[in-house]
Amino acid sequence: MKRMLSGIQPTGNLHLGNYLGALKRFVELQDEAECFYCVVDLHALTVPRDPDELREKTLEVATLYLAAGLDPKKATLFVQSHVRAHTEAGWLLQCVARMGELNRMTQFKEKSQGSDGVVVGLYTYPVLQAADIVLYQADAVPVGEDQKQHLELARDLAERFNNRYGKVLTLPEPLIGKIGARIMGLDNPVKKMSKSAGSEANYIALLDEPDVIVKKIKRAVTDSENCIAYDPESKPGISNLLVIYSLITGQTIEETVQHFEGKGYGQLKKEVAEAVVEHLTPIRERYHELRQSGEVERVLAEGAEKASAIADETLARMKEAMGLVPPFGR
């Protein structure tokens, strides 16, 4: 079986875009590959966070992994900071990475906006992300289009490491969904749905109550044509709703368009809202059951132990290849 790794930051509220573009795919992939999924809490530190909120969000994200259907008997779930090899490997790869590569990272440019006040971690975190991947010798990484550049950096660093020190690391391939990799904002369908959006009207949180979901979808931005067609460029709002319905129901885009043929925007929004509510209600209910059960903490402890065994082995090979003397007396 191929090995895969991916992670989600414990920031903001996990939303429908995170679910359809990541969590739902993670659940599907656990039957096809050896999967490692983590809550990347170290990445969250690149922007100042309230400590109590970060702790709460870390457990919230881990719980949503499980509530969405992740089976700890099939996939390994852990918190990034619980596996110490991540930070060590991150430093080793920083000594392989080049300034020019990090200067080209578009996410840093967007988030820093040219300010000198941002923390250094925001600049270097793509290297830590590369370490996350190579530690598990991942063959593939399910990512959205906006993370493809970071995965290319991980490949470049792994290849440079291997050329310089011998073949130690696997070069990962991106695994990007053709439809649904980018769910767009309900209030602005030309930009991706975002946890950091200024308005809650932008996204449907996975823990939103049914009436909130219905209200948000009813208010979703469309256009004035009242013609249902899949055309992301000229009809981004309608196309986004069609993608959501398609992914929730399992229909193709063509089947979805045919289903809504001759219907108005009001009917489209009504059926999309009903499908989303029906799909997310069991996840929300399961989340609340798990959150109070102690099961999440047990799964994370077992996951960290399993992940550490594999990550530590790769880290030891990296350190040996680079000429670091192993600890004595162990």
Annotated catalytic residues are: 111, 192, 195
Residues 6+ apart with CB under 8 A from 319: 92, 326
Distances (CA, A) of 155 to 74, 139, 160, 259, 275: 26, 11, 9, 42, 39
Beta bridge partners, 173, equal 140
Q: What is the DSSP letter of 9?
A: -
**Which residue bears the tokens 């000429």?**
323
Instruction: Sort 4 into a burial class: Cβ within 10 Å, 0-12 / 13-18 / 19+.
Output: buried
Half-sphere exposure of 227 (CA within 13 A, CB side): 6
CA distance 143 to 147: 6
DSSP H or E segment with residue 310: helix 295-322
CA distance 228 to 230: 7
**230-233 long-range CB contacts below 8 Å, 24 or more apart?**
230/256, 230/257
CA distance 109 to 76: 33
In this structure, are strands 75-79 and 140-142 parallel, antiparallel, or unpaired? unpaired
Per-position DSSP letters for 193-249, written without gaps between them: --TT-SSGGG--BTT--HHHHHHHHHT----SS------TTT-HHHHHHHHHHHHHH
Q: Is 14 helix (H, G, I), strand (E, B) or coil?
A: coil
Exposure string over 303-329, b if 16+ CB within 10 A, otherwise e: bbeebbebbbebbeebbebeeeeeeee
Query: How distant is the alpha carbon of residue 253 from its chain centre?
Result: 23
